Amino acid sequence: MDIPTLNFDHSHHKLKIRGLKSPADVLTFTGHEQLSSPFRYDIEFTSTNKAITPESVLMQDGAVRV
């Protein structure tokens, strides 16, 4: 029996970025908070799409599902 790769992966964390059509699997994420400063999250992810440019994902709205 062959399991389709779209329905199976080992990552439990998913990343959705506005405008990005490819699935993104989270490798690591770290949150930073400080008084009188905005929250900051550093997220490393992988994708099957090798043509993703930094400009297409930086400063975009997104959501992490844990």
d(CA 1, CA 17): 33
Which pLDDT score, from 0 to 100, does residue 12 have?
Answer: 78
Closest CA to 46 of 19, 14, 21: 14
Residues contacting residue 12 through CB under 8 Å, at least 6 positions apart: 66
Which pLDDT score, from 0 to 100, does residue 2 have?
Answer: 52
Q: What is the CATH number of the domain that holds 33?
A: 2.30.110.50
pTM: 0.68
d(CA 39, CA 41): 7
The range of the structural domain enclosing residue 11 comes to 5-65
Which pLDDT score, from 0 to 100, does residue 43 have?
Answer: 92
User: pLDDT tier at 14 (50, 70, 90 boundaries)?
Assistant: confident
Closest CA to 64 of 50, 49, 45: 45
Average pLDDT over residues 28-45: 92
Domain count, the chain: 1
Q: What are phi and psi of 8, to 5 degrees?
A: -145, 125
